[in-house]
Structure 1
Amino acid sequence: MRIGMILDKTFPPDPRVANEAISLIENGHEVFLFCLKYADELKNETINGIQVKRYKSNKFIYKSSALAYTIPIYSKLLVKKIYHFLVKNAIEVIHIHDIQIAEAVFTANKKLNLKTVQDLHENRPEIMKFYPHLQKFPGKFLISSIKWKAKEEEFIKKADAVVVVTEESKEEIVSRVGKDSQSIVVVPNTVHKSYFTKAEINQSIIEKYKHNFMLLYVGDTGLRRGLQTAIESVAVLKDKIPSIKLVIVGSNTSDIFLKQQAEDLDIEKYVDFEGWQNEKLFPSYILASSVCISPLHRNLHHDTTYANKIFQYMSFGKPLLVSDALSQKNIVEKANAGLVHKAENSIDFTEKVLELFYVKVLQTKFGESGKAFIENEFNWEKTSEKLIELYQNFNQ
């Protein structure tokens, strides 16, 4: 089958798009990827079997994408490009990544009437509420998350199938939109087996923290990720666990607030802000850690998606401490991979850390259980089977 994936940005990188495309190719399909180019990238290129077709864009188109469902300029500018892509490559099924470009795709497909798959990488209308530029003028008045949610529901209804990242997201869509659950496929962003079997380890990182009881966080450090809870907890933990060290590998423009908090609490020597590091170093930081954390705040977005870091943590046999954001709570409890604390509650976070510190057998039990879960049930090779099955059904 000739599958036309539609992406509203440059490629590479996009791990989810690449993983899905490669898995489909390995199962006998041809995958053509529509994406945008802003510089002198090759117009046509094959990457890992993906036939990449780049269409020229510019700053005006890029900026108008934020207003896609306020003023429909963005969609109108892309319709002809998408139609050209679909016809020229004799596409049989359209696979739309996220909703920003979806209006243009459905418009371009009116004459062709091809089957469509709407792939929701996240709950975009909900996460938009936390974007800094939507908290102030003019974004606050020009971009409406309510309009985006209405459009998302429209696209879900139009699509022949919908792909989501969690069971919780599927349940929320069935409840809110009334979409037939049989047409919604769950494909989580899990790790490939090679992530933990072929990782290159940096011994200097292991050595650096070998004497610490290290709490590790990797990834984006925006305030909704809950690191203020962990930092507040360290101010108490340092008196009970002298070797405590909170290591934060990642960055965000809001890091200034996290660093100020550590300074105000006089715990700077207990918190290492490593900044953004090459992702190839993540396995080394994980192996150096004692407990890996994901203290997300509760909201509809976090409740229906995964922080992919938890799968990276589990794959190296580390115990987890996560907030009760619904999706991650459910998966960690299912895997028996760690403890759950109340979101934004530093007292509960502290109690759970102490439990893991004093009861060493828990660290081992959770680590082994989480690792087995990833190795046997929740790696990309396993979880992508639902995506393969979806396209097999289209062929019947």
Structure 2
Amino acid sequence: MTTFTPTADEDVVASVQWALAENAPLEIMGEGSKRGIGRPAQTEHAINLSALSGITLYEPEELVLSARAGTPLAKIEELLKRNRQQLAFEPMDYGPLLEQPAGRGTIGGVLAGNLAGPRRLKAGAARDHVLGVSVVSGRGELFKSGGRVVKNVTGYDLSKVMAGSWGTLGVLTSLTFKVLPAPEMEATLLVRGLSEGDAAAAMALAMGSSAEVSSAAHLPEGISTPTLNVLLGSGPKTLLRLEGFGPSVAYRFDLLHRLLRDGGVIERIDDSTAVWAEIRDCAPFADNTDRPVWRVSMAPSEAYKMVAELRMHAGAAAFYDWQGGLVWLRMEAEPEAEGIRALVAHFGGGHATLVRASPSVRASTPVFQPQPPALAALSARLKEQFDPNGILNPGRMG
């Protein structure tokens, strides 16, 4: 097996051109923190981008940061924190869920997976904050899009195309992101004791109010971690995050308290950063096993109904983010992808992705939600445009 470790764009171009000449498919990776997502690699050779690292531009006044694709996300977040700034979409760290150390994700992997966290409702995902990329296509050509150098591929917004492509269209070499000021204050309103249906109603009420809730999640009975137990205690918990200037947060907290006071016991958690990090990283299911974990995106008003129906047929633990529209499911047995997706479809539709399972299950299961015919045709055209020989992460998405 040959593993290329490029340190410059030209090295990536040379590696891809070698693969083309040898008809030798390549696995594309950074530090490997998300390697367990998707079908197992069907390659004997790899490009490891971890040495293609470093922050190349940071202008706090202009709210712009550029870095090479292998730059650790933790390093970027540390720099931003020192300047009271942030990546507002708070990308999750898949490492612990996939039995990898925390903090190993790279900025290239953030865009390749189009990552987001609990602030997704307000701030969007990686694709909504990327300003530009440099990428080497499966043709062995270097393209630059957006940022300070504009050389777009005709007809495509290259930065957006790369979001969620999981390394199957091109090898990202550098990225430019918009950054934003960190909020002066964060506080979380905690409602205790709600059922999953009542929690869905409470979150919908809060999100529809003028309280400007930035995150909304529900942890049913039994869903916790040692950190969450210390910070929040036991029992069902519904969490609503408020961010901004101190007086504004206080005013909006009081507004929510009045709105929800008849629903359950309400508390204020002032230091809730660790709480939202645990929710973001799916920490309740980071249990050092390969029990199947599904990530389901669907209408918040239907998600808890889908979970209730699923529990009638299979052992499943679940918790909810994004106002209930993101469901994390841990199954006690191997998944039946068709059954789970049929259930999601029955309750209004959505997307179900298998994010953790044993290699054998991943190899035999459609890991990503099958695309509708029109979207599948568009994806095929993109693949033909960017990687006609199918040498980049072949088979990972299907």
TM-score by length of 1: 0.30
Q: Looking at secondary structure, tell me which structure has more strand per residue.
A: 2
- TM-score with structure 2 length normalisation? 0.30
Bigger helix fraction? 1
